[in-house]
Amino acid sequence: MKAAFNSQLLEGQTQTYRLDDITPTVFLLFVQWLYSQEFKIISLGNPGNHWDDAPPAFETQHSEFVQLWILADRFLIPRLQNQVMREIERAFKLQVTTAWIPHAYAGTSPDSPLRYLAVDISLYEISSSWVKKHPEHFPVEILLDLAERVVLSNGSVADTYIHRRKRYDYYVKKDTAGDA
C-alpha cells in the first residue's frame, strides 16, 4: 500500500485506494475483523442435501468468504486469510459449492492456497456430472490444474493416484513482521 500511495500510480496521485471489486458485506466483515480480530457469521442452518445445488444464500456466503480471503491477501494479512479458510472449511461441511471458483482464480496467483482448495474440492468432493451441470464454475486455469493433478508420474497406468497436498497447504504461512 505504501508503495502505491507514494508512486505515480492513480493511488499516489489521488491518495485514495478503491475497492470496487469488494461487496459492502465483505468490507463490513473486513472492518469488523480489523477492530476485533474476529467476525460474526450468520448461520444459514442446514441446507438440505450436501450434494444438491446450494441454495443461493450458501453460494453468496461462500463467494463472500473468497472475496474476504482475497482482500486479506491484497493487504498481506495471513491471520485473517487463515481465519477465513477455517470458515470456508466449516461451510463446506454443510454444503459444497463451486460458484466461488471463478472468483478464486481471477483474484489469486497460481500458487495460492485458495486455488489448491478449489482443485481438491473439485477432485474429491464433487462428481463429474456436477462439472457438466455447472461448466461456468470451472475456468480454463482450474481445468489445467486438475489435469496436472491426475496425470500419473513415471508413466504409470494404474487407475489410482496419490494425493499430493495436505490440509495445512490451504493456510498462509504467517510472517510475524508483516502480520496484522
- Kind and range of the H or E element at 132? helix 128-133
State the average pLDDT over residues 115-126.
90
For residue 139, give its domain range.
2-6+21-36+53-170
> Has residue 104 been placed in a domain?
yes
> Has residue 175 been placed in a domain?
no
Which residues, 6+ apart, have CB-to-CB distance to 101 below 8 Å?
118, 121, 122, 137, 138, 139, 142
pTM (2 decimals)? 0.76
> Has residue 77 been placed in a domain?
yes
What is the pLDDT, as a whole number, of residue 136?
95
Question: Count of CB atoms within 10 A of residue 102's CB?
Answer: 18
> Has residue 12 been placed in a domain?
no
What is the pLDDT, as a whole number, of residue 130?
87
- Cα(140)–Cα(147) distance, integer angstroms: 11
> Has residue 129 been placed in a domain?
yes
pLDDT in tens, 73-89: 999 999 999 999 998 98
**Domains identified in the chain, total number:** 1
Please report which confidence band the pLDDT of residue 51 belongs to, taking 50, 70 and 90 as the band edges. Answer: very low
Among residues 53, 54, 80, 62, the alpha carbon closest in space to that of 25 is found at: 62
pLDDT higher than threshold 90 for residue 59 = no
Say what percent of the chain tops pLDDT 70: 69
State the average pLDDT over residues 131-156.
82
> Has residue 64 been placed in a domain?
yes
